[in-house]
Structure 1
């Protein structure tokens, strides 16, 4: 199976704790290049209703697709123990927030 060249960055720089700042920078690079980073900055749109426009439905679907992709990139690039702790979190933002609380205070 051929890996996305950018995902190799995350494979080689897995989050182990003390490398949080470097890992986060690499994650941002990959998510930006893949056009999924916005889910870490934007709140999920409200679920479309029956009378929602097609563009509203499409925007909602785009956000959810990108969130799932970001979720996968994050979980694939952290230690197994961190995967287990975070795999059931609802959004990629929730995972990042938790990891930030755990490791964000560490300096280089």
Structure 2
């Protein structure tokens, strides 16, 4: 059910506030980048603001441009500011210091460069260990299942 503080504040839905709480569980620190980014996409998709991560803000538009284009750019700037704050709030203090002067699009581009390859490598290594894991003869099935579960996690 939507609620309003006053006539100038946009409507905020309870479901939007609830789904944003997903991002509060864990701050991006590097190794968890892919999981964090997937959760971020889910939240922003629900809010119809995920485009901010994929499109840079257009430069200042000339004065003779249509009002609709100016309004679209202004919406993008406002959404980007909001998402930038969310991104900073879900980062470790070290990353916050690094990105405090960046916009959302730039942050995501830099985080991908910093962490995506590392995270893929770690998953590749875990998958190889999982595939190559064989139960030793005479060992406990329970212990083997726990070991396999750890690789999956």
Q: TM-score, normalised by structure 2?
A: 0.64
- Stretches (4+) displaced over 3 A: none
CA distance in structure 1 between the aligned counterparts of 2:111 and 2:42, rounded to whole angstroms:
17
- Which has the larger share of helix? 2
Matches within 5 A, 1:12-31: 12-31=25-44
- 1:42-63: CA deviation from partner (whole Å, max 9, x where unpaired): 2322422222211011011011
56, 66, 81: which one aligns with 2:79? 66
* Mean Cα deviation higher: 66-75 or 43-52: 43-52
* Structure 2: gaps of 5 or more residues: 1-13, 124-153
Tell me, in whole angstroms, the C-alpha distance in 2 between the residues paired with 1:46 and 1:81: 29
Q: How many residues align?
A: 106
TM-score by length of 1: 0.87
Q: Which position in structure 1 is the counterpart of 2:18?
A: 5
Gaps of 5+ in 1: none
Contact 1:36–1:69 (CA<8 Å) still a contact in 2?
no
